[in-house]
Chains A and B, each alone.
Chain A
């Protein structure tokens, strides 16, 4: 294993290595609306993500980070180009997808356990076995995940009995219960306090190292990106495009202490500089 941080923070393309491609955006752009009211959300973008990679998308707000996520999940259609996920076009749903947002959206009438099992009610092959196994195998599965995020024994509680941090842990469990090969996270820890956030980074890192899904994480927090990601894509202001695409080689498992070491701080400052430039470029363009 590589133990020291790699230095290819520059804009050079990152080779995916031998792992198969999980996500591929080819000349993809997105424009919302039509005619004079058309709003370009994403400039022509090409992006390849290998299976099992942890990619963080950072950039100024409104730059189209979430649009990429929605493209990959099939919630938004590309205006030009194609989006390939798991070797097929997104619409084919060749890959199981788990998703989590900043808002945990647990259903208030269900216990945490049942909330987490919700994807199993929807996704095959679990769907057809749901009635038979929800009281046995599936419940055990939910509780095993809860234990991994430090919520052992909370399965029978209702969402309103849990704190924001606990709900966000449950949200991660719900995104993972159906064993997705692809995990899409849109600022999942955005509403949490610093300490809870750092705790959840470690939990997410552990989950990723155990289940090895491909992860696409949208975040505003550069430390979060550096801590979690194996690769960081920096985006320009709206309409977004990818300015920089670089590997993060810090050894795993990473610790919060590592985020204060010089290499990490240097990475942070580099990312920050690029985003500040992108923002001011956009403001000059507007003026």
Chain B
């Protein structure tokens, strides 16, 4: 089992290394100008050299993402719980939610800028509006799929709607919830960077825009590397939390202990 696991991870790592080596060789062999496509080694050097300048922007992007994410999760949980407990509410609210979620979020950034000026606020709001939808859907679905027999058993005991929600509904929603957190954090990140790119003077998105207008292409790519790194890191963090909290939902293949 674990032997195969390690081998799988080895292949994944090898593929990543191979990708960058191929990129480096491609640039060297074709004599590609670094104004078009810089070599990974150049990008790495730029990243290290400019790191003190990049650092506050990284913090800015991370903070806006997390802030938007936390607000989005709070909103998503409340809204999801509301429409999940009642079939009628679910059916009634769903079309509106679909409509809202299918608006490309780039299109709402100008509106947020119009209302709140450029900077941190529209970035947070964009992150929020882009990440709350998967949370709503997953919480609502989790709640709507509670076994009716169990609900009957508890109701016969005199349990209130809240008792059932607290003891059965919410815990059973956790696997759905954490699965959606992984998606939502990536979305929030996209939203924040998007808004920074369009209308902000801080954050990685803005650094990349500025660098690109100065033809500092290695710096643009350095920003891209930072974004990729942050995105992966956030995803990993929430995957680990998911595994810890909702292990019970993913143990299907475990061997039964004696």
Of all chain A residues, which has the CB nearest B147?
A: A105
Size category, A interface: 20 to 34
Binds B, one of A116-124, A192-200, A247-255: A116-124
Known contacts being A109-B171, A160-B251, A161-B256, is A184 close to B156, with CB within 8 Å?
Answer: yes
Min CB gap B24→A, angstroms: 48
Knowing A103-B149, A107-B171 are in contact, say whether A97-B157 is a contact too (CB < 8 A).
yes
Contact check, A123 vs B147: say whether CB atoms are below 8 A apart: no
Q: A174 → chain B, closest Cβ, in Å?
A: 8
Taking the nearest CB of chain B, how far is it from the CB of A120, in angstroms?
Answer: 10
User: Restricting to B87-140, which residues have a CB under 8 Å from any CB of A?
Assistant: none
- Residue in contact with A107 in the complex, picked from B168, B246, B252, B257, CB distance below 8 Å: B168
Total of A-B residue pairs, C-beta within 8 Å = 62
Q: Are B248 and A158 in contact (CB under 8 A)?
A: yes
Q: Tell me if A122 and B168 are in contact (CB < 8 A).
A: no
Interface size class of B (residues with CB under 8 A): 20 to 34
Q: Given contacts A105-B150, A107-B172, A109-B248, is CB(A75)–CB(B257) below 8 Å?
A: no
User: Given A96-B157, A98-B157, A109-B171, 12 more contacts at CB 8 Å?
Assistant: A73-B155, A93-B158, A97-B156, A105-B147, A107-B150, A107-B168, A107-B172, A118-B167, A123-B157, A160-B251, A175-B153, A184-B156
B34: chain A residues within 8 A (beta carbon) = none
| Chain A positions 147 through 186: 1 when the CB is less than 8 Å from some CB of chain B, otherwise 0 | 0000000000010110000000000001100100000100
Q: In the assembled complex, which residues on chain B have CB atoms less than 8 Å from the CB atom of A184?
A: 156
Interfacial residues, chain B to chain A (CB-CB below 8 A): 147, 149-150, 152-159, 163, 167-168, 171-172, 174, 246, 248-249, 251-252, 256-257
A40 at the interface (CB under 8 A from B): no
CA distance A70 to B248 in the complex (A): 32
**Contact yes or no, B167 A105, CB < 8 A:** no
A99 at the interface (CB under 8 A from B): yes
A90's nearest neighbour on chain B, judged by CB, is B156
Q: List the interface of chain A (C-beta within 8 A of B).
A: 70, 73-75, 93, 96-101, 103, 105, 107-109, 118-119, 121-123, 158, 160-161, 174-175, 178, 184
By Cβ-Cβ distance, the 10 closest A-B pairs, closest first, are A73-B156, A105-B150, A109-B248, A101-B149, A122-B159, A99-B156, A99-B153, A122-B157, A97-B156, A105-B149
Contact (Cβ within 8 A) B158 A123: yes
Q: CA of A107 to CA of B168 in the docked complex: distance in angstroms?
A: 8
Is the beta-carbon distance between B152 and A75 smaller than 8 angstroms? yes
Could you tell me the distance between the alpha carbons of A105 and B151 in the complex, rounded to whole angstroms?
10
